[in-house]
Structure 1
Amino acid sequence: MMSLTQAFVLHQRPYRETSLLLDVISRDYGRVSLVARGVRQKRKRGGHQLQLFQPLWLSWVGRGELQTLTDVEHHQPRYWLKGHAALCGLYINELLIRLTGLHQSEPMIFDAYQQALSELEHSDSCEITLRIFEKHLLAAMGYGLALTHEASSGLPVTDDNYYRYLPEHGLIVSDKAIPGQTISGRSLRHFEQESDFDLVSLSEIKQMMRTVLNYYLDGKPLKSRQLFAQMQLYANPATSETER
């Protein structure tokens, strides 16, 4: 049996009558799939610890893709994400499940995830937290963004120029600004330095990152994005109808 390791539950679903299937991100072993036997009975008695956004220490046994949870401990309080921040937490959980492979240890991803949860709990700017997490996740997976130089010419990015970002290629200078397709050198500088963000740069960075992530997701939609859209529709029916 392996020793306890730091971990978070990313997703859970019922399994048979009393158990759960878990998607877990661990610091030492990467993402793993576990079966937690009998825990749904413990939940009814108030003893279920396997909550989302709860720092845990877990151990498990077995071989293959699905292994068996053997021990659960927690020594830190849960990150309490409310409202929009909770939706953002579900979004980054889904990104990890969709983009990371099983049993591929990458402590940088675990640390970036924990940092993102802390910021979502305490910060008023979820957008900045999401964009920086997306950037660090791609870098840890070997898909780091080249944000300082134009790909073909090698020329440095300048604030006044506009660019398109092509995954697996990099930045290509554009003759003009095209809403939803190009990003200014100024916004790229903000993203590279992770500072001085404003509404314009955050909007442009968000559009660029959506393009990049869609590429690595093979164009398959994220359920959490659909949930965001539904929440916006209920909050602003007229505005959401025109944006869809």
Structure 2
Amino acid sequence: MRERVDFESACLIHHRVVGEQDAVVTVFSRRYGRLSLWVQGKLSQPGSIPLFKPMLISWRSKGSSHQLIKLEVDSAYPTLLKAELTSEYLFSAFYVNELIQHFLPELADSSSLYDDYLWYLESMAQRVFIEPVLRIFERQLLISSGWLNDLSVDLLTGEAIRADAYYIAVNHEHYGVGVTLLRAEPQTYHSAQVSNEIEATKTSQACRILGATLIAFNSNNLSNQVSLNEVKGLMRWFIRCLLNGKPLKSRSLFKSFKLTL
């Protein structure tokens, strides 16, 4: 990375105080993905850098250490700068930030995903139906971060998803990605190991999904409640698998307010 970066569009993801006048903040930036910055002075205090607002930030780097030196609002996003997220819209944004903290690589160009994130925040500011937008962002985050295979194809055969076939989720152990989908019929594959794994995985209904639902999901069309419920189960399975049992703090907010996003 360059020794100094100026006016990079970024959003605060996490703020951790480490002293009376010091903090470490995690930001999601357009060209550098997830980045941790050392902050001193007034900006180190909680609330001094607003959440869910695009900022233009400047920092200097020395080795693997990065220090924030300047911050101002990014006026290119007036809707977000004026918006105040509340209730379930606020909680869902906290959840998305936590996913970014877990899954987005550090110092990786994430321009497309950054646009997806701002789209998500704008959707929350407009108080749209949360679940379809949330599922789409979850998918984009995991694919962009390399944890999820393209959901439009069967990874092993390379064949396009068939509307009339069922597919199951499998973990990364043999397939070189975090999680992916394989067609649910073992006879589709030549490998006995793959066939046996599919038979074992089919006992978990949360991992099984109709091809037509996947096609709709890939087209960002989740207007059908049945399809939305299937996709919700699938994405929850993917995320639970990748977290390997580690709880998400934002989930406790959902439970406290009886939300089921």
TM-score with structure 1 length normalisation?
0.82
Q: Are residues 214 and 71 of structure 1, via their aligned partners in 2, closer, same or farther at CA, if it must alter by over 3 Å?
A: same
1:15 aligns to what?
Answer: 18
2:250 aligns to what?
Answer: 224
Matched, 1:70 2:96: no
Alpha-carbon separation, structure 2, partners of 1:149 and 1:7: 33
Which digits, 9 at most, give the CA deviation of each residue in 1:140-197, with x for residues without a partner?
2234433344455555544444321224454334478964231122221211111143
Q: Are residues 54 and 173 of structure 1, via their aligned partners in 2, closer, same or farther at CA, if it must alter by over 3 Å?
A: same
Q: Are residues 183 and 38 of structure 1, via their aligned partners in 2, closer, same or farther at CA, if it must alter by over 3 Å?
A: same
Which digits, 9 at most, give the CA deviation of each residue in 1:49-75, with x for residues without a partner?
511001100011132444221101113
1:26 aligns to what?
Answer: 29
2:188 aligns to what?
Answer: none
Q: Are residues 146 and 25 of structure 1, via their aligned partners in 2, closer, same or farther at CA, if it must alter by over 3 Å?
A: closer
Contact 2:89 2:127 in 1 (8 A): no
Q: Which runs of 5+ in 1 are unaligned?
A: none
Q: Please point out which of 174, 179, 182 is paired with 1:172.
A: 182
Amino acid at match of 2:217: F
State the shift of 1:139 in Å.
Answer: 2.1
Identity over aligned residues, as a percent? Answer: 29
* Number of residue pairs matched by the alignment: 230
Contact 2:10 2:27 in 1 (8 A): yes
Alpha-carbon separation, structure 2, partners of 1:20 and 1:111: 27
Q: Please point out which of 116, 138, 142 is paired with 1:138.
A: 142
CA RMSD of aligned residues (A): 2.7
Moved more, 33-42 or 114-123: 33-42
Alpha-carbon separation, structure 2, partners of 1:32 and 1:179: 37
Equivalent runs, 1:121-200 vs 2, <5 Å:
121-151=125-155, 156-168=160-172, 169=175, 170-174=180-184, 179-200=205-226
1:59 aligns to what?
Answer: 58
Matched, 1:114 2:140: no
Alpha-carbon separation, structure 1, partners of 2:102 and 2:26: 11
TM-score with structure 2 length normalisation?
0.77
Q: Which runs of 5+ in 2 are unaligned?
A: 186-201
Moved more, 200-209 or 77-86: 77-86
Q: Please point out which of 98, 102, 107 is paired with 1:94.
A: 98
Amino acid at match of 2:212: R
